[in-house]
Structure 1
Amino acid sequence: MMLTDPAKKYRPFVTVDLPDRQWPNKRIETAPIWCSVDLRDGNQSLIDPMDQERKQRFFDMLLKVGFKQIEVGFPSASQTDFDFVRSLIEQDKIPEDVTIQVLTQARPHLIERTFEALQGAKNAIVHVYNATDPMFRRVVFNVDKPECVQIAVEATQQIRAQMDAAPETNWTFQYSPELFTTTEMDFAVEIVEAVMGAYGSSADRPMIVNLPATVEVATPNNYADQIEWFCRHVKNRDHLIVSVHPHNDRGTGVAAAELTLMAGADRVEGTLFGNGERTGNVDIVTLAMNMYTQGVYPELDFSNITPIMREVEYCNQLPVHPRHPYVGDLVFTAFSGSHQDAIKKGMADRRANPDALWDVPYLPIDPLDVGRSYEAVIRVNSQSGKGGVSYLLEQEHGIELPRRLSIEFSQVVQEVAERTGREITSQMIYQAFADEYLEQCAPFALVNHRLSSEPDSPKVTLEAVVESDGSRQTLKGEGNGPLAAFIKALAAAGHDVEIIDYHEHSRGQGADAEAIAYVEVRIDGKAVFGVGTDESITSASMKGVLSAINRHHSTQPAAANVTAETLG
């Protein structure tokens, strides 16, 4: 049961005394050094850890994305990891410019086993850690501060000796004071400096110090304060590559990573899509794409993100959430009517200004940049409005609805969405449009027409054959154009139709192109829309008028009794 006074059980985090902090005024302007820990940290958190086949597929995918540092396992703790590291080395599967990283605890026999796994590697990072947090020192390991430092120093000395004995490998040393964010800051600096001395780090041979938020227990700004404080107080900062390894226990792992980069970190360890223990590691995809949206190239290639997502889902046997930033199946999709209308207008502005900076409402990034199409940007359900309906008809069916017709037809779609209680696909929208306008062929349908004109006369004469219930009637009229002549012909037959608005455009290209006409007319004092399509724009416009007449009659009580005879 939750306590009404949790202060009786939990304590707030300790803040850092850094009144002149500089990181809030900084911006991320270059990509950090990236290290994927999917194959180790991510893998150990899976319900079913990856086998050799899935590990190899994941590794190959990470290479394609552009990772140059990849933590491939914990070979001293797992035979599967040991065998995988050996297969990478023995089968020459590691490119010359890629460095593999392995993790080991600060124990002599585990360090020995780690170097057995790495024998023959071209480039390798040996990552050793021990817990420095006071609770772990007291509860888990029962060591004091000097004993904790001694563990780290002795492990470092052993690793350095192993590296010196294998000069054919380009070695990098990495040390993590585990649970850095809950370690006393002065002690974190003390133990890192002791390790630096034992390793002999220098500006020419820097070591990596990884400062992890092993368990995220504070707000992101506090982690940034800790990193800036550490970088200010540690001796020989230029002898270090400062790395961060944020976890996501408070749900702020991405923010924490970004702020620590602003605070001076050089490197980030994380996983694709944030897989990891508890709530996960920091999500490198989100971090990288956040940089990309700010005009910073992240030096990782996510230009075809969907296959990457599917591969990670296969290897991890875990789904990526449909609302996952930049990646999820629904992140570029708008159902809300106001959102859809804004996106539709933004896309139209983009087409008119294709070389301008990206500036489309509700879309922080162009979906094309990550290999997505615009087809799924707008989808329709009962929450949608005219903008979404119009967008889908235009993008997928070449139908550009005039504004008032868009408003009217959206109500038709709204009724379908509420009646079915589910998402309405673009094909369903098109079929509803066709049913409502294009297929309104009763009581009247155009059979054919013939136009003629006198030389030097602005007027045309029209003869149109109209059919109803199997009977045909020829109508004749004269006007300043085909549509005006058709209206006169209808009037002569007793049908007073007034054109209120008219739009037309071509639909499709080449031999498949056709004309589409949108006609708004007034009949018996009521405004009615009709739509017609045909290879001929004249026929399309006449069909549009008849569509409006048919729709008007369909709402009248005596509509069933209207026949072609009424035209005579």
Structure 2
Amino acid sequence: MSTRVEIFDTTLRDGEQSPGASMDDNQKIEMALQLERLGVDIIEAGFPIASEQEFQSVKAVSETVKRPRIAALARTIKVDIERAASAVADAERPVVHTFIATSPIHMEHKLKLTPDQVLEEAQGAVKYAKTLVERVEFSAEDSTRSEWDFLVKVSQAAIDAGANVINLPDTVGYTTPAEIQGMFEHVIGNVTGADDVIFSCHNHNDLGLAVANALAAVRGGARQVECTVNGIGERAGNTSLEEVVMALKTRSDVMPYETGINNLELANSSMILSQITGLVVPYNKPIVGRNAFAHEAGIHQHGMIANQTTYEIMTPESVGRARSELVLGKHSGRAGLAKRCEELGFNLEHDEVVQLYEKFIELADRKKEVFDDDLRILLMSMRDETFEIYSLQDLNTSGKKPAMALVKLKKGEDETPLTDTAIGDGPVDAACRAIERVVGVSGRLEEFTIRAATPGKDAQGEAHVVVNFEHRRYTGVGASTDIIEAAVLAYLNAMNKYLAISGSNS
């Protein structure tokens, strides 16, 4: 059996189901291009039948990204499969991923089908999908609560119909490492033609076992792991791509498997996704968290000085995080700026460099030193401008209670200033109320965090918010050397997302 484990990234599909993680077409393309740089084997771009917008997003990714396979999800319904195949028709290597539930609880209560009917549906869907695309993946939804012998039957039916990949998902994050390893060994050992297909795992993290279960599935014979950057996904999330990849790499002595991932792009991938979605990476997140390579205890620091391997099983450099950064200042030129951006994984066109340089000089005038994270924030804010409806032109606040704020906004290319004032419980509340008065939209702030993006007293504050507009949550990110302005920019960013996605920007 091959030791190569394929990485199937579902950040754009299952990951986007994380509350507040919605992405527009441009953001999906930006993330897909980063996944291509990362070296994933397959990108699951979406569920095309869900909406016209979802179909167009999958189509756009298929047209833009060239190296990885591009997959689209479909139920075992003919119209779903046709829509999925159409969405990925322009991909270099298209994949249709069709699924049906196989656990007794799902068959009885959700599908209201007998096991024989499920077998027939699965086989028919795979057979039809194979007439449209070369590669088809079949998933037995809720495999870990399914009867193992029935999994053998449905997997055999899919293989006989021409499936290239058989996915056995832990849909509700229920299983354990020993159990999932046994399940894969049982199914692989009892189907005919197992050597001609790839078996895949797709685990959710409800019990905190997604990564451990993925590694156990690989030991059981799985040669594809379905995962997301930062482990994002509905409920408690999905298998974390960076954790699986670095576990296999770091412990190759006991897990002799390899992936095609460029681990030097892991940190960039994590940061870009966080900036796009507004979902903050926990400081203690393995591999990519801010504290993943921090050592504060005196004994640890002493050991690190003597030999880094005393307390580090991998280096920050191995995941693309430098111990020291190239610090830029206001005297740095465009060429140096462009070169550093390229090293950070951003290849810019000439006009983008010009636009970035203007923002860079403005920031360098406000703070003495510009760090890598400052550049990433500037770059991502530029990408966010692709759907910016309202932009902040001026902000004045008073710090007294009740606080008063005056905001000046610009809508699109219209240079006419839109100004209003409001009173609130603090300057941020007052400013957000003033913005709502200008735009004519009201939201409820549900979450608000702010952190220093870089070292120093003049550091940029990076604010993250979650705002509820019409019973749907939208994330926003804003950055400034003024923390009140950062918070207001984040709120406006979330509002712009709501206006763009809902079409309420007239």
TM-score range (shorter-chain normalised) is: 0.5 to 0.7
List aligned pairs for 1:212-291, cutoff 5 A.
Answer: 212-291=169-248
What are the Cα deviations for residues 447-490 of structure 1, in whole angstroms up to 9, with x where unaligned?
xxxxxxxxxxxxxxxxxxxxxxxxxxxxxxxxxxxxxxxxxxxx
List aligned pairs for 1:108-127, cutoff 5 A.
Answer: 108-127=78-97
Residue 34 (1) aligns with residue 10 (2)? no
TM-score by length of 2: 0.61
Distance 1:78 1:44 in 2: 14
CA contact (8 A) 2:270 2:288 kept: yes
Distance 1:79 1:71 in 2: 17
Deviation at 1:46, TM superposition (A): 3.5
Deviation at 1:118, TM superposition (A): 2.8
In structure 2, relative to structure 1, the CA distance for the partners of 1:426 and 1:338 (3 Å cut) is: farther
Greater mean alpha carbon deviation, residues 113-122 or residues 273-282: 113-122
Distance 2:90 2:316 in 1: 43
In structure 2, relative to structure 1, the CA distance for the partners of 1:368 and 1:29 (3 Å cut) is: farther
Instruction: Look up the SS of the partner of 1:173 in the other structure.
Output: strand
Instruction: Look up the SS of the partner of 1:80 in the other structure.
Output: helix
In structure 2, relative to structure 1, the CA distance for the partners of 1:190 and 1:55 (3 Å cut) is: same
List aligned pairs for 1:401-416, cutoff 5 A.
Answer: none
Match of residue 161, structure 2, among 174, 178, 198: 198
CA contact (8 A) 1:77 1:110 kept: no
Could you list the runs of 5+ residues in structure 1 that have no partner in the other structure? 1-27, 164-170, 202-206, 348-359, 377-424, 429-568
In structure 2, relative to structure 1, the CA distance for the partners of 1:105 and 1:304 (3 Å cut) is: closer
Could you list the runs of 5+ residues in structure 2 that have no partner in the other structure? 326-453, 458-506
Percent of residue pairs identical: 28
In structure 2, relative to structure 1, the CA distance for the partners of 1:238 and 1:311 (3 Å cut) is: same
Deviation at 1:209, TM superposition (A): 0.4
CA contact (8 A) 1:289 1:298 kept: no
CA contact (8 A) 2:204 2:238 kept: yes
Match of residue 93, structure 1, among 39, 64, 89: 64
TM-score by length of 1: 0.54
RMSD (Å) for aligned C-alpha atoms: 2.5
* Other-structure match for 1:186: 149
Residue 370 (1) aligns with residue 319 (2)? yes
CA contact (8 A) 2:175 2:213 kept: no
Distance 2:5 2:258 in 1: 11
In structure 2, relative to structure 1, the CA distance for the partners of 1:219 and 1:305 (3 Å cut) is: closer
Deviation at 1:214, TM superposition (A): 0.8
* Other-structure match for 1:328: 289
Instruction: Look up the SS of the partner of 2:64 in the other structure.
Output: coil
Deviation at 1:276, TM superposition (A): 0.9
**Highest CA radius of gyration, 1 or 2?**
1
In structure 2, relative to structure 1, the CA distance for the partners of 1:427 and 1:42 (3 Å cut) is: closer
Instruction: Look up the SS of the partner of 1:342 in the other structure.
Output: helix
In structure 2, relative to structure 1, the CA distance for the partners of 1:370 and 1:154 (3 Å cut) is: closer
Distance 2:245 2:234 in 1: 21
Distance 2:2 2:77 in 1: 39
Distance 1:127 1:371 in 2: 32
* Other-structure match for 1:298: 259
Amino acid corresponding to residue 94 of structure 1 in structure 2:
V
In structure 2, relative to structure 1, the CA distance for the partners of 1:34 and 1:306 (3 Å cut) is: closer
Distance 1:42 1:280 in 2: 7
Distance 1:427 1:212 in 2: 46
Instruction: Look up the SS of the partner of 2:37 in the other structure.
Output: helix
List aligned pairs for 1:545-564, cutoff 5 A.
Answer: none
* Other-structure match for 1:57: 30
Distance 1:342 1:29 in 2: 39
Distance 1:55 1:79 in 2: 15
Residue 310 (1) aligns with residue 235 (2)? no
Deviation at 1:69, TM superposition (A): 1.1
Deviation at 1:371, TM superposition (A): 3.2
CA contact (8 A) 2:250 2:314 kept: yes
CA contact (8 A) 1:322 1:329 kept: yes
* Other-structure match for 1:345: 306
List aligned pairs for 1:148-159, cutoff 5 A.
Answer: 148-159=118-129
* Other-structure match for 2:495: none
In structure 2, relative to structure 1, the CA distance for the partners of 1:238 and 1:373 (3 Å cut) is: closer
In structure 2, relative to structure 1, the CA distance for the partners of 1:122 and 1:306 (3 Å cut) is: closer
Deviation at 1:291, TM superposition (A): 2.0
* Other-structure match for 1:134: 104
Tell which has more relative contact order, 1 or 2 (C-alpha 8 A, sep 6+): 2
What are the Cα deviations for residues 351-378 of structure 1, in whole angstroms up to 9, with x where unaligned?
xxxxxxxxx11111122222334469xx
Distance 2:151 2:85 in 1: 27
CA contact (8 A) 1:46 1:316 kept: no
Deviation at 1:66, TM superposition (A): 0.9
In structure 2, relative to structure 1, the CA distance for the partners of 1:182 and 1:375 (3 Å cut) is: same
Amino acid corresponding to residue 39 of structure 1 in structure 2:
L
In structure 2, relative to structure 1, the CA distance for the partners of 1:29 and 1:328 (3 Å cut) is: farther
In structure 2, relative to structure 1, the CA distance for the partners of 1:426 and 1:100 (3 Å cut) is: closer
Distance 2:152 2:2 in 1: 27
Distance 1:344 1:160 in 2: 58
Instruction: Look up the SS of the partner of 2:182 in the other structure.
Output: helix
Distance 1:156 1:137 in 2: 19
CA contact (8 A) 2:15 2:232 kept: yes
In structure 2, relative to structure 1, the CA distance for the partners of 1:31 and 1:272 (3 Å cut) is: farther
What are the Cα deviations for residues 87-139 of structure 1, in whole angstroms up to 9, with x where unaligned?
234xx4232x4210110011122222222223343311110000111001111
In structure 2, relative to structure 1, the CA distance for the partners of 1:304 and 1:83 (3 Å cut) is: closer
Deviation at 1:339, TM superposition (A): 1.5
The number of aligned residues is: 326
